[in-house]
Amino acid sequence: MTKHWSTDRTEAFSDGVFAIAITLLVLDLHVPDDELTNLWAGIAAQWPSYLAFVTSFATIAGIWLVHHRLFAHMDFINSTVIRINLLLLLDVTFLPFPTRLMAQALNNEDAERAAVLFYGATLLASSLALAAVWRAVAGDHSLVASGGQDEGGELKVIGRAIVPGIGLYVLATGVALVDPAVGVWAYFFIALLLIVRVHNADGPAASS
């Protein structure tokens, strides 16, 4: 039997990383000094930064919601889940870099496509990592005190929220190849969809 730990510190460390990554995004929002003379125009001209900001915010928020529901279901954690979770955190800490790049490159014909695709690849990696954490949890029944009965099909509900994200990111990246600007909006709506779906109370899990 493998060694088990309480999930407390993994939750605390993950919450710290999510909270910091989501808050660091704001450091890339700024208006150059020479646009102060017409500040409303200067603020408006930063729209690619805002789109990148809210898309990454929504993505990390969605990942946090899944993480929250998945870990609320677990009573213990094993070494495999801890390590795969670190891969997820690696992707989340990396996300501010492609976010910044995309904000830099939107409105720039040459760079836009590469930046959006690079951003999309990072999101795709995060959805794969999230699914891998979920699979590792589903694969060890002893992580749930009730013996992994998956009462109310909780794990199935979570899986149904995560897994389609992988396909959607592949699809949106195809769209981004053709039209990068549309691709960014697709990434934004995928994140919103995850936020809407993951904590939905319908299905067999709808019990107190």
CB neighbours (10 Å) of residue 109? Answer: 8
* Residue number, 39 or 182, with CB nearest to its own copies: 39
From candidates 55, 57, 123, 191, binder to its own copies by CB under 8 A: 57
89 phi, psi to nearest 5 deg = -65, -35
Rounded Cα distance between 160 and 156, Å, is: 6
- Segment near its own copies (CB under 8 A); pick from 32-40, 124-132, 170-178, 179-187: 32-40
* Residue number, 26 or 167, with CB nearest to its own copies: 26
Name residues contacting its own copies, limited to 142-181 (CB under 8 A).
142
> Can residue 141 be called a binding residue for its own copies (CB under 8 A)?
no
- Segment near its own copies (CB under 8 A); pick from 75-83, 123-131, 160-168, 174-182: 75-83
> Can residue 61 be called a binding residue for its own copies (CB under 8 A)?
yes
From candidates 38, 141, 145, 167, binder to its own copies by CB under 8 A: 38
To its own copies, the closest distance from the beta carbon of 34 in angstroms equals 11
From candidates 52, 55, 100, 133, binder to its own copies by CB under 8 A: 100
From candidates 45, 111, 163, 193, binder to its own copies by CB under 8 A: 111
To its own copies, the closest distance from the beta carbon of 161 in angstroms equals 12
* 3-class SS letters over 139-159: CCHHHCCCCCCCHHHHHHHHH
What tokens appear for 115 in the block?
């930046």
Cα R_g (the chain), whole angstroms: 19
Angstrom CA distances, 69 to 14, 66, 74, 179, 197, stand at 13, 5, 9, 35, 12
Helix ranges restricted to H, 25-77: 39-44, 47-73
